[in-house]
Chain A
Amino acid sequence: MDKLNSYKLGPDQNGRFGIFGGRFVAETLMPLILDLEKSYQQAKKDDSFQSELAYLNKYYTGRPSPLYFAERLTDYLKTAKIYFKRDELNHTGSHKINNCLGQILLAKRMGKTRIIAETGAGQHGVAVATVSARFGLPCVIYMGAKDIERQKPNVFRMKLLGAEVVPVRSGNATLKDAMNEALRDWVANVNDTFYIIGTVAGPHPYPEMVRDFQSIIGKETKEQILDQEGRLPDQLIACIGGGSNAMGLFYPFLDDISVKITGIEAGGMGLQGEKHCASLTAGRPGVLHGNRTYLLQDDEGQIIEGHSISAGLDYPGIGPEHAWLKESGRVEYFAITDSEAVEAFKICTKTEGIIPALEPSHAIAHLINIAPNLSKNDLVVMNLCGRGDKDIFTIAEHLNMEI
């Protein structure tokens, strides 16, 4: 497609994807964000930065992750040929490391000596603690007090890695409050601190930067599918909390119009009430955490706490580029409930011998739902963005089983 009609041109110089994105931050942070943007644009073009990142991706993370033909799931569903992009095999067990390595190299380049981050389920926190240990920088992870209770193994991992885990009790004591608290820390420690945001949200340039670091998922997938099948896939499916694994898979394919692209949100206990996290399918545009995007909010514009069985999808917002992709019609978004995700988790585990995280289990569930409408000749790639070890307690509770 020609440049003028590309879906890959965003964000503009103001950090906007259409009306979404932007830089809705306090003046104290504004100079820092401009500085970060400048440094990132320089690093992006710098071969030494890119080669160091490529080296770490290969030898530290273990990239490229395989594109795996899920033969038994394909047989089970008697439908399209299903491939898994195996980002759960990365060091630390999810795609989060892709972004953290990029950002910590940038932090180092900018001379920052202290790392902060927010985390919900703890996957991003673990990845941040990991790269902070690897680069010898002190790090503070903000985590909602409720999440700390729910995600003890990850809290322990972060502590082992040398991170200080600060319980956030303000607000509702979950991910959005952890993000508020990290922003407050940043405002108070502007000179030495680098804030590693874990998803494609936040003020410009974060959505662009995180997307770029995660795009390695889609770039590899494209090469691998061409190599293994000799053609592009017919459909891509990925789960969405903030939306970083999905943006990473989708972005390199946005201008390949023959490829249908589908994002799956957490439908929790259903979209009728408030017990879900489907910002795109059931929310509306608003401004939070530095960007305009789809949000879960009440009639007064107060942010509503979402719910999902998967703590990693439990965020009331969504990356602004997804909001734009939804409105432009390029990507379709659907919601999957807790129960559907758990069922898919069980099917994947038993047919493939892979225990998926609850987050990508939502994407698998959608695949199962649409299977009857797919043709045997179709190629579908699903991003298996995290492994499920962290979720065994949640699953056990959901199934009333004892560990």
Chain B
Amino acid sequence: MTVRIDNCFETLKLTNKKALITFLTAGDPNYDLSLELIKSLPEAGADIIEIGMPFSDPMADGPAIQASSLRAINSGHKMEKTFEMIESFRKDNSHTPIILMGYFNPIYNYGVDSFIKKIIDIEVDGVIVVDLPPEEDNELCNAIESADLSFIRLVTPTTNADRLNKILQKTSGFLYYVSIAGITGSKRPEINEVETAVQEIKTKTNIPIGVGFGIRTKEDIERVGSFADGVIVGSVLVDIIKNNEHESSVKDKIMKKVREFASAV
């Protein structure tokens, strides 16, 4: 529901805080651990949870998230299991917004109508589909919005003013500003340039702006949090899974990182 995301940003605003938005891939490295991680995120300080729907060919993602998709797929993960995870999460948590992020083919394959029906059922709040630009709104975006879910748009350094205006007309929840021209987890953003871009967008909209792609340190988060409404981290967390896949400490290490990041927003 759009309202859960709106409430989240409004509540944070009251205490002058920004949203920490964390990304993990569903089923990475396996179902049980993945579910445990996602359930632990809010307590560690994640305000909004992005859950990646694994796809074999994630063309906008860097090696970290690509590998996490493959780990999940190889562990036997399926779309239905992503839904089960969310159902299980919602049993204990009714306030943290959940955003599903991924690519269109697994959704198209599942069936757009069934997908929407299902995510309403299990109380997902929004979706990000990387390979559905505004030109392809008829595929999913329009139906998502009619269902009062958020279709979260990406704006990038290559988005010109014309496109930005079009995108802003059909954005709900928050706007995802992609801080680099590049893929997830690759080069570090020039934060001054990101600030200029975000300030520019803010003159045109009141919708909250989250910034992500390439943000890896507490320092970056502090700086981005000083002008954006939310900071999105993914690859840096997923890398911890990759490096500690077979260790029992993986959950502690991720939650420690999330706590550190949460203290910076």
* Residue positions of A touching B, CB distance < 8 A: 14, 22-32, 170-171, 176-177, 180, 183-184, 187-190, 286-290, 292, 295, 297, 299-303
Contact = CB atoms under 8 A, between A and B. Distances in A.
Contacts of B136: 22-24
B181 A188 contact: yes
A131 to B, nearest CB: 25
A187 B183 contact: yes
Q: How large is the interface on B (under 10, 10 to 19, 20 to 34, 35 or more residues)?
A: 35 or more
B165 to A, nearest CB: 14
B63 A170 contact: yes
Interface string B62-78: 11001100100100001
B108 A187 contact: no
A362 B160 CA distance: 47
Residue with the greatest number of chain B CB neighbours at <10 A, chosen from A32, A180, A286: A180
B133 A190 contact: no
B119 to A, nearest CB: 16
B57 A184 contact: no
Contacts of A24: 104, 131-133, 136
A170 B67 CA distance: 8
Nearest to A14: B135
Nearest to B182: A188
Contact of A25 (B107, B109, B133, B159): B133
Interface of B is mostly: loop
Given A28-B178, A183-B59, A190 B132 contact: no
Residue with the greatest number of chain B CB neighbours at <10 A, chosen from A27, A187, A188, A299: A27
Interface in B129-145: 130-136
B159 A27 contact: yes
Given A184-B59, A287-B108, A26 B163 contact: no
Contact of A187 (B56, B60, B66, B67): B60
9 contacts: A22-B136, A23-B135, A24-B133, A26-B156, A28-B157, A28-B182, A30-B163, A297-B109, A302-B73
B66 A26 contact: no
Contacts of A177: 57
Residue with the greatest number of chain A CB neighbours at <10 A, chosen from B70, B103, B135: B135
Interface string B43-65: 00000000000111111101100
Interface of B: 54-60, 62-63, 66-67, 70, 73, 78-79, 103-110, 130-136, 153-160, 163, 167, 178, 180-183, 186-187
Contacts, number: 120
B182 A297 contact: no
B104 A287 contact: yes
Contacts of A289: 57, 59
Given A26-B133, A27-B167, A30-B134, 8 more contacts: A22-B136, A24-B133, A27-B154, A170-B67, A289-B57, A300-B78, A300-B106, A302-B54
Complex A-B, nearest 6 residue pairs according to Cβ-Cβ distance, in ascending order: A301-B109, A188-B182, A301-B106, A28-B156, A26-B60, A302-B56
Residue with the greatest number of chain A CB neighbours at <10 A, chosen from B57, B62, B163: B57
Contacts of A180: 57-59
Nearest to A302: B56
A295 B178 CA distance: 29
Nearest to A23: B135
Contacts of B110: 301
A31 B73 CA distance: 32
Contacts of B132: 24
Given A171-B66, A187-B181, A297-B109, A287 B131 contact: yes
B158 A288 contact: no
Given A22-B136, A176-B57, A180-B57, A27 B178 contact: yes
Given A187-B182, A286-B108, A302-B106, A32 B133 contact: no
B182 A301 contact: no
B105 A31 contact: no
B60 A28 contact: yes
Contacts of B57: 171, 176-177, 180, 288-289, 303
Nearest to B61: A184
